[in-house]
Amino acid sequence: MSKYIIVGGVAGGATAAARLRRLDEHAEIVLFERGEDISFANCGLPYYVGDVIAERGDLLLQTPAKFRGMYNVDVRVCSEVVRVDTAQHTVEVRSADSVYTERYDALLLSPGAKPLRPPIPGIEHPRIATLRSVQDADRFRAMMETGRSVVVVGGGFIGVELAENFCERGLSVTLVEAMPHILPVFDTDMISLLEDELRRHGVELVLGDGVAGFEEQSDGGICVRLGSGREVHGDFVALAIGVRPDTSFLEGSDIALGARGHILVDEYMRTNVPDVYAVGDAVLTRSAQTGKEAALPLAGPANRQARLAADSMAGVGRAYRGVIGTAALKVFGRTAAATGQNERALQAAGLKYGEDYRFTVIFPRHHVTYYPGAQEIALKLMFRTSDGVILGAQAIGSEGVDKRIDVIAAAIGQSLTVADLQEFELSYAPPYSAAKDPVNMAGYAAENILQGRSVPLLPRELAAEVAAGAMLIDVRPPEEYHTGEIAGAQRIPLPQLRERLHEFDPKTPIIVCCKMGLRGYLAEQILRAHGFTAKNMVGGYYYLRMQHEEEI
């Protein structure tokens, strides 16, 4: 009879334990969890802080007793594995009343990641807290009983979700981010939609300014000193500046770790040591797109890795394909989602826009416009110029966002192209979509660029084109002018374009811009058919406005 030891519960460890039991009814399975809870909804913690999830018990997906009864697993909570001896196949465990050794035949490591707490002066103040456990969430709820203002340090997923939930509870919220923008998974041309949404709901954003120190005030509040010399104040501070793998207990063992402490694993979730496997936020796996090492602390990959690791431990394993990086979050009335590589990652890998990759930005409605409630989605799709393979996508809107990104994520997972997106047969009824789904539309727009039927121009390229003598034409109808002026553009509504072609110099390049890009594309085709050199502004005026381009 095999004996499996699992270190850590939640998404990785508990999932693996349940899978192992389904594969082997007679195995001995022991699960060690340092905390009080074997399996809890850690992704739901910000919403418990915000009282969206009102009942604490709803976060507890499995109690130790329930898990034992259902899966016959020896669950030992409040028991921390402090050392692994791979030569002896043992782990050293520290519980409340003893330290003891337990032997294994196969070991699964799922220790997770812990919040970063860099050595900033004053960071140990008791009203500066991080969010990792249900107990941490309890602590925030307690501080909210007396505190009316909070400084959130960090503009990643957790920081933004906490900022929203604090704001919804009536607190005054300041969010501090050292980088120029929040949420680095999104490109800077898209992120303004979310930053504007936060500001619209009263969240003060302090961007491009890191924390230099914390000081307690005479009233019990905390002064957060920033690198610029500016000071912001809150009754308490939520620290959300990232995580690092919780693997210090493996230092000195034979288990190989990466530069930042991640456990190195192969495609079967095996470490470099026989009979030792690892999953979750603490592991360094590979990108399914590039094959390069990647660490992605998300619940979805952790669950899939856990199932595959359990299969490998039981001798029925198959290879893990790697991570794509698909995620979504709610920011008040908007949903934002992304999958694959963003433009920053492509450029960091040495790829050049125009030569190696391009992208399109479209603004379709999430369902047909004649059915009430149709909402716009800002959808950015990146693709390889050589063959149209989809590289990544980002979408932001109030409805239908996650659905579209999930479809594109599936396409990326199969290395499909923008031409394939055009052929997807997706569910349609007026309340849910359109006969041409936004995913299809993104494929059409990208294919037009790929085949040379449309020559795109980005806002960042516009100034140089105009300076070189290009003519800029605004083809929007007059009723749309109130949304904003495209400075320097000659206004010629699309229906008048054909009858005014004689006004243009055939030797002068022309740039066309409309509201969202579609009418600009039509104008581009008219001009090119009559011998003019024309380019279409990607995403139209909407895309310009997203980047706060007030003047051209």
* Rounded-to-10 torsion of CA 83, 85, 89, 92: -30
Instruction: Name the E strands within 423-485.
Output: 456-457, 471-474
Q: How far, in Å, CA of 455 to CA of 385, rounded?
A: 13
* Mean pLDDT confidence for 164-179: 98
Q: Are residues 137 and 155 in the same domain?
A: yes
Where is pLDDT greater, at 11 or 92? 92
For the cut 90, the answer to whether the pLDDT of residue 548 exceeds it is: no
pLDDT in tens, 305-354: 999 999 999 999 899 999 999 999 999 999 999 999 999 999 999 999 99
Instruction: Classify residue 328: in a domain, yes or no.
Output: no
* Mean pLDDT confidence for 373-391: 98
Looking at the DSSP bridge assignments, the partners of residue 340 are 392
The residue among 187, 145, 144 whose CA lies nearest residue 166 is 144
Q: How far, in Å, CA of 443 to CA of 426, rounded?
A: 13
In the DSSP assignment, the letter for residue 231 is E
For the cut 90, the answer to whether the pLDDT of residue 15 exceeds it is: yes
Instruction: Classify residue 236: in a domain, yes or no.
Output: yes
Q: Are residues 203 and 134 in the same domain?
A: yes
Instruction: Classify residue 110: in a domain, yes or no.
Output: yes
Q: Which two tokens stand for residue 484?
A: 């904003």
Q: Which two tokens stand for residue 55?
A: 């009942």
Q: Which two tokens stand for residue 441?
A: 């539309």
Instruction: Classify residue 551: in a domain, yes or no.
Output: no
CA dist list (Å): 488 to 18, 31, 163 = 64, 67, 40
pLDDT in tens, 500-513: 999 999 999 999 99
Judged by DSSP in three states, 520 sits in: helix
For the cut 50, the answer to whether the pLDDT of residue 551 exceeds it is: no
Q: Are residues 109 and 255 in the same domain?
A: yes
CA dist list (Å): 516 to 377, 537, 542, 546 = 11, 9, 6, 11
Number of domains in the chain: 4
Q: How far, in Å, CA of 11 to CA of 42, rounded?
A: 9
Q: What integer best gives the mean pLDDT of the chain?
A: 95
In the DSSP assignment, the letter for residue 68 is H
The residue among 8, 17, 109, 33 whose CA lies nearest residue 70 is 17
pTM: 0.94
In the DSSP assignment, the letter for residue 411 is H
Q: Which two tokens stand for residue 227?
A: 């690198």
Instruction: Classify residue 15: in a domain, yes or no.
Output: yes
Which one of 397, 425, 450 terminates a domain?
A: 450
Q: Which two tokens stand for residue 178?
A: 């050292």
Domain limits for position 8: 3-114+244-313
Q: Are residues 132 and 106 in the same domain?
A: no
Identify residue 466 by its one-letter amino acid code: V
Q: How far, in Å, CA of 253 to CA of 429, rounded?
A: 58
Beta strand 390-397 with 471-474: parallel, antiparallel or unpaired? Answer: unpaired
Q: Are residues 175 and 193 in the same domain?
A: yes
Q: What region does 432 belong to: left with phi over 0, alpha with psi -120 to 50, or beta?
A: alpha
* Rounded-to-10 torsion of CA 271, 273, 274, 278: -30
pLDDT in tens, 204-253: 999 999 999 999 999 989 999 999 999 999 999 999 999 999 999 998 89
pLDDT in tens, 103-112: 999 999 999 9
- The radius of gyration computed from the CA coordinates of the chain, to the nearest angstrom, equals 27
Q: Are residues 267 and 303 in the same domain?
A: yes
Instruction: Classify residue 325: in a domain, yes or no.
Output: no
- pLDDT > 90 in the chain, percent: 92
The residue among 206, 153, 213 whose CA lies nearest residue 180 is 206
Q: How far, in Å, CA of 245 to CA of 279, rounded?
A: 11
Q: Which two tokens stand for residue 548?
A: 């706060």
Q: Which two tokens stand for residue 105?
A: 């035949």
Q: Are residues 180 and 272 in the same domain?
A: no
Q: Which helix (H) or strand (E) holds 461?
A: helix 459-467
Burial of 482 (0-12, 13-18, 19+ CB in 10 A): exposed
Q: How far, in Å, CA of 225 to CA of 210, rounded?
A: 9
Let me know: does 532 contact 523? Beta carbons within 8 Å.
no
Q: Are residues 133 and 235 in the same domain?
A: yes
Residues labelled as active-site residues: 43
Q: Are residues 251 and 237 in the same domain?
A: no
Which one of 209, 241, 273 terminates a domain?
A: 241
Where is pLDDT greater, at 299 or 106? 106
Q: How far, in Å, CA of 77 to CA of 98, rounded?
A: 13
pLDDT in tens, 150-167: 999 999 999 999 999 999
What distance, in Å, lies between the first and last C-alpha atoms of the chain? 73
Q: How far, in Å, CA of 515 to CA of 486, rounded?
A: 10
What is the DSSP secondary-structure string of 114-158?
A: EE-----TTTT-TTEE--SSHHHHHHHHHHHHH--EEEEE--SHH
Q: How far, in Å, CA of 454 to CA of 476, rounded?
A: 18
Identify residue 433 by its one-letter amino acid code: S
Report the CATH number at residue 231.
Answer: 3.50.50.60
Give helix 10-23 / helix 64-71 axis angle, nearest 10°: 20
Q: Are residues 465 and 523 in the same domain?
A: yes
Q: How far, in Å, CA of 474 to CA of 481, rounded?
A: 9
Instruction: Classify residue 252: in a domain, yes or no.
Output: yes
Instruction: Classify residue 322: in a domain, yes or no.
Output: no
Confidence of residue 550 (pLDDT cuts 50, 70, 90): very low
Sign of the Cα torsion 499, 503, 506, 508 reads negative
Buried b (16+ CB within 10 A) or exposed e, 280-296: bbbbbbbbbbeeeebbb
Judged by DSSP in three states, 89 sits in: coil
CA angle 135, 139, 144 (to 5 degrees): 145
* Mean pLDDT confidence for 356-377: 97
Q: Are residues 103 and 252 in the same domain?
A: yes
Q: Are residues 61 and 136 in the same domain?
A: no
